[in-house]
């Protein structure tokens, strides 16, 4: 349970709109520039942010985030830098929930309890752990709960109803509904499978259900906002930075896209 | 050793290793594999069809060969080779592939995907896809497509699509990443025919079971040939499938040493090796908890081996368990020692082994000198070396005049 995260999602709901959640990896485009990039998400209108922990083996990510992770690792990003980026962002934006999205092994290596403690100390709101199934999550959940960190689990179109109930019973903060079967990256179509999954997920929980994977435009954000509590966008932001001529131009492009998407989530 | 520890528990753990660390999108598919495998195991028709394929298509049982001239170089210990190189497609990989291909048909899926390092698992998978009329895509690191070009041609001849993987270290680890990405997106039609005893439960157990035939045959053949069990069983370990296959039925034989040989590349004290059990630490890679070559932050370290099939920074979780329990020993073998063993077997016995299997041969040479002339050593000759002639020719200068 994280009251800051729950509060922000509830406030969006009270305004009869979906929340916008933006993702960018730490260490990208540079170790020091990552906090500026995340600031651009927030300045553009993101209600909450996810900071990715770059990994050598990002099996759930498409080419865009793979490229960003690769750049971040070549920049020499360390786990402690990810936590420092969280600290910088939360210090500058005390009301914005900041989550870390990470593959499990870096947390396992750091020590689950130690990572939870250091994330909480940095002002983090919680973690999304997409390759840690509920069955393996016991030690993490115990540490996170004690520190008031949210643990967001991912559900997929292939998840059966009974399993959805198991997952949502263990998760806190919100439920991350994967819009499509596949890795991260922009797609032309995102709506159809996601709507059914959100409906089935809601039948098992009162937690907000936020939809990610594939959303890159304001029109798609509006489409998803019509049935979800939040819209999660990652690769499209990363792509803006990859395409920019300079880091500053990248941050400006991120801010612009965030503003468009923030408008989108208000057009449900 | 009690027998119950030899079977993973309900969550797929061998002691502290194994489990199922996978994204939610794959949970239903992996559970389907596990359920279907249990049903198939209980179905006599499945067992009969697989047995017939192993006999009439693969050419099992594979022979056991006494290598007298090679043995003379191993301190006179008697070395017996289990000839998996003589299987159809040229390695042990076909045993597991035929089992999983039958399972794929039972699940009603029509497309096979697989990773491959040396190309032997890819060739075997492409072969099964041709035999069963299935579509097939093989992911192979770009570095490996170059050093194992013959196998790329074989896979394409068999009708498979071969995708060179250009991410990360461009070797086996990255081929597995890419296969997982394909599987997440196409799971309705596609089975990921995983090629080693790693990955999420049930793959480590299931792949071992499909390769157990190696050890079952070899144990009976050695007893028949020598009247006794061997002193040691030696096999190379990358992911570890040929080693688990030959080790498993010897585990209850307490007097038989089980020795896995890892690729030490340029040496385990250099950064360029693939000796995961010797130099790695417990972590999570490709769906299970096992030993991993990783840095302080849990990022995977790129491995190196002259052998594409052993060039992997992880290892099957059952090997991690056997190492910690002490039932098996794991030793490193350098690129050079393996290449010298490759040449030695070629010239003393007229058998050209795969570079992967040559690591086991080098291990047997060392062990034979330790154990002396009374010892019997069973070596799993897991594959043949045709695919490696480009690498060997370069290594020994075979194509430009005098050999080294």
- Answer whether CATH 3.40.50.2020 is correct for domain B12-55+93-203: no
pLDDT recorded at residue B401: 61
How confident is the prediction for chain B on average, in pLDDT? 95
Is there a contact between B24 and A159 if contact means CB atoms under 8 Å apart? yes
User: Over 50: is that where the pLDDT of B155 sits?
Assistant: yes
Q: How far is residue A194's CA from residue A197's CA, in Å, rounded to a whole number?
A: 5
User: Over 60: is that where the pLDDT of B36 sits?
Assistant: yes
Is there a contact between B168 and A73 if contact means CB atoms under 8 Å apart? no
Residues 6+ apart with CB under 8 A from A137: A129, A151, A153, A170
Give the closest residue to A239 by CA, choosing from A6, A82, A65, A34: A65
Is residue B93 annotated as part of the catalytic site, yes or no?
yes
Is A71 within 8 Å of A62 (Cβ atoms)? Answer: no
Does a cis peptide bond (omega within 30 degrees of 0) precede residue B61?
yes
The alpha-carbon gap from A76 to the nearest alpha carbon of chain B, in Å, equals 11
Q: Buried b / exposed e across B343-378, counting CB within 10 Å, b at 16+? A: bbbbeebebbbbbbbbbbbbbbbbbbeebeeebbbb
Residue from A50, A69, A118, A195 carrying the catalytic annotation: A50
pLDDT recorded at residue B400: 74
Please list the helix, strand and coil fractions of chain A in percent, rounded to the nearest 5, in that order. Answer: 50, 15, 35
Burial of B147 from C-beta contacts in 10 A (0-12 / 13-18 / 19+): buried
| Polymer length in residues for chain B | 404
Comparing alpha-carbon positions, the chain A residue that sits nearest to B19 is A136
User: Over 80: is that where the pLDDT of A268 sits?
Assistant: no
Q: How far is residue A79's CA from residue A104's CA, in Å, rounded to a whole number?
A: 12
A203-233 pLDDT tens trace: 999 999 999 998 999 999 999 999 999 999 9
The CA–CA distances, whole Å, from B94 to B120, B194, B245 equal: 9, 12, 12
3-state secondary structure of A198: helix
Q: How far is residue B165's CA from residue B145's CA, in Å, rounded to a whole number?
A: 9
On the question of a common fold for B12-55+93-203 and B60-90+211-396, the answer reads yes
Q: How far is residue B304's CA from residue B312's CA, in Å, rounded to a whole number?
A: 8
How confident is the prediction for chain A on average, in pLDDT? 96
- Is residue B147 very low, low, confident or very high in pLDDT (cuts 50, 70, 90)? confident
Q: Buried b / exposed e across B262-284, counting CB within 10 Å, b at 16+? A: bbbbeebeeeebbbbbbbbebbb
The CA–CA distances, whole Å, from A170 to A141, A145, A202 equal: 8, 11, 14
- Is residue A190 very low, low, confident or very high in pLDDT (cuts 50, 70, 90)? confident
Nearest-CB residue to A154 (from B23, B28, B180): B23
What is the pLDDT averaged over residues B293-322?
A: 97
What fold characterizes domain B60-90+211-396? Rossmann fold (3.40.50)
As a whole-number percent, the residues of chain A with pLDDT over 90 amount to 92
Q: How far is residue B308's CA from residue B171's CA, in Å, rounded to a whole number?
A: 7
B56-112 pLDDT tens trace: 999 999 999 999 999 999 999 999 999 999 999 999 999 999 999 999 999 999 999
User: Over 60: is that where the pLDDT of B402 sits?
Assistant: no
Q: What is the DSSP letter of B303?
A: P
User: Over 70: is that where the pLDDT of B180 sits?
Assistant: yes
The CA–CA distances, whole Å, from A137 to A107, A116, A234, B47, B127 equal: 12, 13, 24, 37, 39
pLDDT recorded at residue B1: 42
Is there a contact between B27 and A163 if contact means CB atoms under 8 Å apart? yes
User: Nearest 5 degrees, angle CA B269-CA B270-CA B272?
Assistant: 130
What does R_g of chain B's alpha carbons equal in angstroms? 19
As a whole-number percent, the residues of chain B with pLDDT over 90 amount to 94
Domain count, chain A: 1
Q: How far is residue B63's CA from residue B221's CA, in Å, rounded to a whole number?
A: 8
Domain range enclosing A110:
3-264
What is the pLDDT averaged over residues B25-29?
A: 94
Q: Out of A42-46, A184-188, B133-137, B256-260, pick the least confident.
A: A184-188
Q: Which residues in chain B have their CB less than 8 angstroms from residue A78's CB?
A: 297
User: Over 70: is that where the pLDDT of B3 sits?
Assistant: no
Is residue A16 annotated as part of the catalytic site, yes or no?
no
pLDDT recorded at residue B202: 97
| Number of CB pairs, chain A paired with chain B, less than 8 A apart | 107
- Is residue A186 very low, low, confident or very high in pLDDT (cuts 50, 70, 90)? confident
User: Over 80: is that where the pLDDT of A258 sits?
Assistant: yes
**A232 - beta bridge partners?**
A21
User: Over 60: is that where the pLDDT of B28 sits?
Assistant: yes
The alpha-carbon gap from B186 to the nearest alpha carbon of chain A, in Å, equals 8
What is the pLDDT averaged over residues B11-37?
A: 96
Is there a contact between A136 and B297 if contact means CB atoms under 8 Å apart? no
pLDDT recorded at residue B5: 52
Sorted by where each begins, the domain ranges of chain B are: 12-55+93-203, 60-90+211-396
Q: What is the DSSP letter of A195?
A: H
Is B377 within 8 Å of B79 (Cβ atoms)? Answer: yes
A122-160 pLDDT tens trace: 999 999 999 999 999 999 999 999 999 999 999 999 999
pLDDT recorded at residue A193: 86
What six digits make up the tokens of A93?
A: 């934006």
- For residue A56, give the CATH number of its domain: 3.20.20.70
Is there a contact between B299 and A73 if contact means CB atoms under 8 Å apart? yes
The alpha-carbon gap from B184 to the nearest alpha carbon of chain A, in Å, equals 5
Q: How far is residue A220's CA from residue A256's CA, in Å, rounded to a whole number?
A: 16
B98-142 pLDDT tens trace: 999 999 999 999 999 999 999 999 999 999 999 999 999 999 999
Is there a contact between A109 and B294 if contact means CB atoms under 8 Å apart? yes
Is there a contact between A153 and B177 if contact means CB atoms under 8 Å apart? no
pLDDT recorded at residue B4: 42
User: Over 90: is that where the pLDDT of A39 sits?
Assistant: yes
The alpha-carbon gap from B185 to the nearest alpha carbon of chain A, in Å, equals 4
User: Over 90: is that where the pLDDT of A189 sits?
Assistant: no
- Is residue B168 very low, low, confident or very high in pLDDT (cuts 50, 70, 90)? confident
Comparing alpha-carbon positions, the chain B residue that sits nearest to A80 is B297
Comparing alpha-carbon positions, the chain A residue that sits nearest to B183 is A182
As a whole-number percent, the residues of chain B with pLDDT over 70 amount to 98
Is residue A145 annotated as part of the catalytic site, yes or no?
no
Is there a contact between B23 and A156 if contact means CB atoms under 8 Å apart? yes
pLDDT recorded at residue B335: 98
pLDDT recorded at residue A243: 98
Q: Which chain B residues have any C-beta within 8 angstroms of a chain A C-beta?
A: 11, 19-29, 167-168, 173, 177, 180-181, 184-188, 283-286, 292, 294, 296-300
């Amino acid at each position: 349970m994280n009251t800051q995260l729950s509060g922000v999602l509830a406030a969006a709901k009270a305004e009869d709109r979906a929340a916008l959640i933006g993702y960018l990896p730490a260490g990208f485009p540079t170790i020091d520039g990552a906090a500026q990039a995340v600031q651009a998400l927030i300045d553009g209108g993101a209600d909450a942010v996810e900071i990715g922990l770059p990994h050598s083996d990002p099996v759930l990510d498409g080419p865009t985030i793979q490229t960003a992770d690769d750049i971040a690792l070549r920049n020499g990003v360390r786990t402690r830098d990810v936590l420092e980026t969280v600290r910088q962002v939360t210090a500058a934006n005390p009301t914005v929930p900041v989550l870390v999205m990470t593959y499990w092994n870096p947390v396992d290596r750091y020590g689950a309890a130690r990572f939870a403690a250091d994330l909480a100390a940095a002002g983090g709101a919680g973690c999304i752990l997409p390759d840690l199934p509920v069955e393996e999550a016991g030690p993490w959940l115990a540490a996170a709960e004690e520190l008031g960190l949210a643990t967001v689990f991912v559900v997929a179109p292939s998840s059966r109803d009974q399993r959805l109930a198991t997952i949502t019973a263990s998760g806190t903060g919100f439920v991350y509904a994967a819009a499509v079967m596949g890795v991260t990256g922009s797609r032309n179509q995102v709506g159809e499978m996601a709507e059914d999954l959100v409906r089935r997920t809601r039948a098992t929980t009162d937690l907000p259900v936020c939809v990610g994977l594939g959303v890159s435009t304001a029109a798609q954000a509006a489409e998803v906002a019509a049935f979800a509590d939040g819209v999660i966008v990652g690769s499209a932001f990363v792509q803006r930075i990859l395409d920019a001529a300079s880091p500053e131009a990248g941050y400006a492009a991120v801010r612009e896209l965030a503003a468009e998407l923030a408008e989108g989530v208000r057009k449900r | 050793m009690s027998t119950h520890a030899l079977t993973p528990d309900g969550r797929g753990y061998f002691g502290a290793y194994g489990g199922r660390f996978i994204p939610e999108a794959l949970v239903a598919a992996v559970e389907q594999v596990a359920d279907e495998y249990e049903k198939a195991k209980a179905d006599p028709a499945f067992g009969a069809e697989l047995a017939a394929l192993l006999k009439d298509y693969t050419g099992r049982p594979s022979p056991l060969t006494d290598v007298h001239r090679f043995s003379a170089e191993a301190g006179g210990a008697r070395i017996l080779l289990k000839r998996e190189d003589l299987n159809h497609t040229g390695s042990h990989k076909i045993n597991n592939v035929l089992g999983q291909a039958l399972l794929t048909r039972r699940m009603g899926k029509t497309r096979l995907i697989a990773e491959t390092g040396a190309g032997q698992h890819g060739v075997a998978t492409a072969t099964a896809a041709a035999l069963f009329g299935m579509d097939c895509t093989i992911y192979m690191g770009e570095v490996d497509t170059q050093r194992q070009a013959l196998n790329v041609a074989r896979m394409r001849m068999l009708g498979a699509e071969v995708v060179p993987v250009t991410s990360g270290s461009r070797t086996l680890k990255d081929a597995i990443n890419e296969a997982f990405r394909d599987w997440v997106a196409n799971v309705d039609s596609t089975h990921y025919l995983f090629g080693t005893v790693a990955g999420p439960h049930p793959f480590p157990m299931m792949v071992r079971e499909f390769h157990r035939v190696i050890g079952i045959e070899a144990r009976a053949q050695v007893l028949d040939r020598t009247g006794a069990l061997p002193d040691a069983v030696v096999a190379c370990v990358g992911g570890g499938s040929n080693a688990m296959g030959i080790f498993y039925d010897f585990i209850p034989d307490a007097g038989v040493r089980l020795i896995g040989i890892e690729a030490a590349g340029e040496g385990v004290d250099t950064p360029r090796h693939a000796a995961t059990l010797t130099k790695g630490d417990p972590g999570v890679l490709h769906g299970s908890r096992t030993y991993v070559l990783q840095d302080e932050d849990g990022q995977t370290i790129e491995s190196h081996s002259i052998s594409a099939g052993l060039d992997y920074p992880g290892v099957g979780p059952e090997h991690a368990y056997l190492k910690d329990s002490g039932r098996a020993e794991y030793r490193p073998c350098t690129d050079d020692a393996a290449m010298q063993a490759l040449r030695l077997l070629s010239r003393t016995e007229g058998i050209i082994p795969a570079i992967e299997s040559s690591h086991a041969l080098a291990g047997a040479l060392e062990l034979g000198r330790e154990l002396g002339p009374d010892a019997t050593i069973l070596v799993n000759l897991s594959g043949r070396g045709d695919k490696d002639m480009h690498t060997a020719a370069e290594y020994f200068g075979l194509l430009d005049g005098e050999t080294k």
